[in-house]
């Protein structure tokens, strides 16, 4: 069984996220999605989410491509996660290209996938504010 992992905030879940998760799953048989906690988002990514961690978790858990959701609490956990969950492949969007190549030293295949153009949580918020 090939095991894949990916990390993200997944706020205001949209088709760009779904495209990523669908393609990530195609690299194996079991996909883990590590979702950034509210604290990690605020402290490390200065992101204030619309949906709480629990809400984002329940949304991502309902996606057919996702087999398990775990919390992402810090930048460092990726190295322990790939061993703890016996991961073969790490997948993330190419906005992170090169940032996680260190996982190759852990024997993990690292894949950066092209982001879905035009859509982003930030864009959704901007568009909704425009209509006010």
Residues in CB range of 113: below 8 A, 6 or more apart: 20, 23, 24, 91, 92, 93, 94
Q: Which among 2, 25, 45, 78 is annotated as catalytic?
A: 45
96-to-45, 92, 112 alpha-carbon distances in Å: 13, 7, 7
81 binds ligand C2G (CB under 6 A): no
Q: Does 115 bind ligand C2G (CB under 6 A)?
A: yes
Among 29, 54, 95, 101, binds ligand C2G (CB under 6 A): 95
* CA separation for the pair 115, 91 (Å, rounded): 12
> Any catalytic annotation for residue 47?
yes
Lay out the site mask for ligand C2G across 16-55 (x = CB under 6 A, - = otherwise): xx--x---------------x--------x----------
């Amino acid at each position: 069984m090939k095991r894949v992992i990916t990390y993200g905030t997944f706020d205001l879940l949209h088709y760009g996220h779904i495209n990523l998760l669908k393609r990530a799953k195609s690299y194996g048989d079991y996909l883990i999605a590590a979702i950034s906690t509210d604290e990690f988002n605020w402290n490390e990514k200065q992101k204030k989410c619309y949906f709480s961690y629990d809400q984002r978790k329940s949304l991502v858990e309902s996606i057919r491509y996702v087999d398990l959701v775990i919390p992402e609490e810090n930048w460092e956990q990726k190295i322990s996660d790939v061993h703890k969950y016996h991961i073969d492949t790490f997948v993330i969007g190419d906005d992170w290209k090169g940032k996680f190549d260190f996982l190759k030293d852990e024997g993990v295949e690292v894949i950066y996938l092209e982001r879905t153009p035009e859509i982003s949580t930030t864009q959704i918020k901007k568009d909704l504010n425009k209509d006010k």
